[in-house]
A and B are shown apart, each in its own frame.
Chain A
Amino acid sequence: MAKAPNSAQIWTSKTNAAGSASFSDRDSGFVRNTLAGLMPFAVGIAMASLLHFLLPGMVGLYYSRIVTDIGIAIIMAVSLNIVNGMTGQFSIGHAGFMTLGGYMAAFTSYYGSMCLWGNTEIHGGFLGTGEWLFVVSCIVGGLLAAGAGYVVGLPSLRLRGDYLAIVTLGFGEIIRVILQQTGKVIESAEALKTGGLSQMIPPPVGGALGFGGVPKYTNLFWVFTILTVTLVIAYRLKRSSFGRGMISVREDEIAAQAMGVNIARQKVLAFVIAAFFAGIAGGLFAHERGVILSPKDAGFQRSFDYVIMTVLGGRGSITGVMLAAGLLTALPEFLREFEQYRLIVYALLLIFMMLVRPQGLLGIHEIWDLWPRRRTTLPPTASLMHSSTMPSQESKR
């Protein structure tokens, strides 16, 4: 960022994270701009490949599994942060989106694999045909979750804070109950062909027992590639005029509306974007080794885990939430013998945070904001967002 635009330009400036604004000459800079915009993706994919090929050899399968879990948890927490942190809504049904997307993805890859190859074995190696089917099914899962996000986002236009929380909680429970009523998994390609379309109602995804037999495609490469995409999009969203609109909705809905922010659109889109990434994370989760997707995953307990990550990390801070998601996923693995105290510690942490540091570990800052820097003036978003440490409009009765 060469020059911080003044506050009057906040709503029109389209500066993004990659620093493309520093290319002042638009015409000749187009190619360079595009390349600079793609840089984070290239770096992320390179890092994902490195992790994929080196990590299992270095630390063994058990710890690579934990790293995979951390990646999925970060996708979930960062996407939930778009709704809870940036837009200031309060969703506690995020695991519902995840499980819905996961089921859809598993359905697509399981039965797609059966239709294409006649069995549900893993097809192709690294970046082979099977993995592309897996990616497509994750995206299908994400799209279904995004549709559900639209439906859940609609009541948010009329409901504030705690009412919305209940609706999202109810949504997760409804998903759980509905998934429990689904039919048995069809075991073989012959049965799939002879059974006809009628066996698709209710969808054969395993009912209360869970969806077993899904091909286990998830690996470090795909988790961290998708994580990169999620992070870049979340970060650019935060710095875009659209993201600032979201932040303004969080700070004061009435003022935002008066400034011409379409709060209905901001809220619903926040839900749709967050649900899309949650659905993809669900797809990754469903194809992970050692995981059997079950309706229980849609319940509120899992949703609370992600809420705790966003609250702990700081509402609106992407790096803070990443940090919290990583810590809260890794720590229980190393403290196995204290398993029954895990949630007690989480609960105390939540209460303690709210009493002592309600803005979360990093608050609204990103981790690099903590380093001393030469900049003399604060970036425009910072001045806008600093007010979140003040009691907001909501506290007035």
Chain B
Amino acid sequence: MYLLEHDAKQLLAAHGIPVPAGCVITDAGRQPRLPPGPWVVKGQITAGGRGKAGLIQKAATPAEVRSRTASMLGQQLKGRTVKEVRVEQQIAGASEAYIGIMLDPAVAGVRIIMTAQGGMDVESLPRDALQVSTAAPDAESISAVVDKLSAAVGGVAGAALAQAGRAMAQAFVAEEALLVEINPLFVHADGSWIAGDAKFVTDDSALPRQSVQREFLNRKSSPYLETALKDAHGCDYVVVDPEGEIALLTTGAGLSMMLIDEMRASGLKPYNFLDIRTGGLRGEIKRLVNVLHWMCEGRRVRVLLINIFAGITELGEFSKLLVSALQAVPDFKMPVVARLVGNGMETARSVLADAGIPLHDDLDAALAEVHRHLEEQR
């Protein structure tokens, strides 16, 4: 999960990293007790570029906090909606450093990057402004490299980076992170430091053994929709365009992504990404029924395209499940176009034909039919 800043800071604080006093607001009408001002109001969203999008703003009075919060809640950025706002104490008079610890698959370990010149886009800094090295993925090895790099940075910032880095190394290993980044790391002249912003990416595969992350995931109106959904239903489903017109019932991550890319390039508007995992259906319609219900939530969805390349799955069986699932969701009234390849095509063809669904074995032919349905409905 790419954690919201608010959650990332809670995790960091739990591992001994100081963060500005703050609170979270989900309802503009209800303002909790604020920490001492002045404040920064920060829209919580799992994507970068918040500053440029106006989702990070200063506020000098509680009234300003209220108006900024109200304007941010519900705002959209990169297809995500701001549902939470973090209000925290402004940090003044500090210099800004950067430190990141991230997975480095090439060395089966981690990469550590730090610099005294944080705050801005670190990737735009000249290479020699950065201290970079790799380490084995255990806290002791990471800490040893943190010590070496921070000594090279030197000064007050170096000392702060050393302390922060050692605590982050513990957090990275204990939380089974893919990335832990603090930017800016505010450093005061007296040597004290505090995490201004935090990015924390965790491993969904480790969720069963990460209790705090599970709490984040399971809280009311979870911001981690896709992970929560996969956790509960065993398939990957992502609304890629809330205004999309074509629902996709597909299996396999790569083929599903490619289909979306190609449809968009040709001017079609897919609604969702789905990896249904046909191998995990186990003869039950439940997962298919759930997916069909979710698709009904798309206001502009007008046609369903099914694209399954089955290496193993018996398509006759799959087609029977599909027809039963469609019957179990009477709200689902849109036309269905199916393209299947694999074992059991003949049975699949007759099962689907009985349900009035023509079966294609060529993807382009299926896409042409999707096009025709959209034209007819215009």
A binds B: no
Binding site for A on B (CB under 8 A): none
Binding site for B on A (CB under 8 A): none
